[in-house]
Amino acid sequence: MSESPGDESAMRALGVVLVVALVCGLLVSAVSVGLRPQQRANVETERIAQLELVLGALADIGQTRSIENLEARIVDLASGDYDDTQNVVTFDAEAAAGKPDSSVAIPADIDLAGIKRRALYARVYLVRDSGGRIELIILPVWGQGYQSTLRAWLVIGGDTRTVRALKFYQHGETPGIGSRIQEPEWEALWHGVPIYDDGGILRIGVKLHADSGGDSAYRVDGISGATRTTQGVDGLLRYWLGDFGFGPYLRRIREEQY
């Protein structure tokens, strides 16, 4: 039986659709490949811009440094060991956290930062003294605030026990209220705050109530009218400095240096 004119038209239409789909696929692929260098350049530009903020925070505490002084390393968060198989320049922890094979779910009872998943690895920066010992550790920390994700750099001393600086570089909190977490006066309150008590128990946080009891020495005053935002700061610090965050890495440094 011969094909009808309608069948031939349908076949031709299908052929045109397949050709167009193939050409479009090739074009998208070519554009993607062509834009890859620009995308990498944009990532590197953003990374450098963030590090400039860190350097500004270090300058505020009398630690003038340049980007060349910062040693970047990738850390396996579960073990606390360095992992040199990851590309330290292009690694993106938040992108990795969105992929099941490069992240892990955070148990709800310890997800104080409210981020649900974290990458298996993290990029940290180190500043060493003239003898090669770690003088400063710069950790990326983030968590949910009132209206947005709060992203910051936490700088702690090489002994891992004291905050040297806390610098928020991105958020979408209420202007004039929650946004005050970026004010120099509030940032300055974190300089010198101890992270642990004498027994090694994690104590650092934000005073969320007038009476903070025995934790007063380890906590910074909250911001009036910005309770939810400062709760977010408290949660992200306690999560990232805990055992499911950078805790294993910080223990490793203490064991190696002290």
User: How, if at all, do strands 219-221 and 121-128 pair?
Assistant: unpaired
> Closest by alpha carbon to 74, among 55, 46, 102, 54?
102
Q: Greater confidence, 26 or 123?
A: 123
> Closest by alpha carbon to 73, among 119, 120, 124?
124
Q: What is the pLDDT of residue 49?
A: 77
Task: Give domain status of residue 208, yes or no.
Answer: yes
> Closest by alpha carbon to 111, among 87, 143, 149?
143
**pLDDT tens-place string over residues 220-253:** 999 989 999 999 999 999 999 999 999 999 999 9
Domain range spanning residue 253? 65-257
Task: Give domain status of residue 193, yes or no.
Answer: yes
> Closest by alpha carbon to 206, among 220, 192, 227?
220
Task: Give domain status of residue 51, yes or no.
Answer: no
Q: Which two tokens stand for residue 222?
A: 């909250």
pTM score, whole prediction: 0.80
Task: Give domain status of residue 127, yes or no.
Answer: yes
> Closest by alpha carbon to 240, among 159, 173, 150?
150
Based on the number of CB atoms within 10 Å of its own CB, is 30 exposed (0-12), middle (13-18) or buried (19 or more)?
A: exposed
Whether residue 123 contacts residue 72, with contact meaning beta carbons closer than 8 Å, is answered with yes
Task: Give domain status of residue 154, yes or no.
Answer: yes
The CA–CA distances, whole Å, from 172 to 61, 75, 148, 203 equal 26, 28, 5, 27
Nearest-angstrom CA–CA distance, 153 and 214: 27
**Beta strand segments in the chain, E:** 71-76, 103-105, 117-119, 121-128, 134-144, 149-157, 163-170, 205-207, 219-221
Task: Give domain status of residue 59, yes or no.
Answer: no
Residue entry with tokens 């805790």: 247
Count the domains in the chain: 1
Task: Give domain status of residue 22, yes or no.
Answer: no
End-to-end CA distance of the chain: 88
How far is CA 173 from its chain centroid? 17
Span 115-132, mean pLDDT? 94
Q: Which two tokens stand for residue 130?
A: 């003239």
* pLDDT reading at 23 higher than 90: no
Which amino acid is it at 111? Answer: D
Whether residue 112 contacts residue 233, with contact meaning beta carbons closer than 8 Å, is answered with no
User: Could you tell me the pLDDT band of residue 38, with boundaries at 50, 70 and 90?
Assistant: low
The CA radius of gyration of the chain, in Å to the nearest whole number, is 24
**pLDDT tens-place string over residues 57-90:** 777 777 777 777 889 999 999 999 999 999 998 8
* pLDDT reading at 118 higher than 80: yes
Q: Greater confidence, 53 or 181?
A: 181
Nearest-angstrom CA–CA distance, 42 and 165: 27
Task: Give domain status of residue 122, yes or no.
Answer: yes
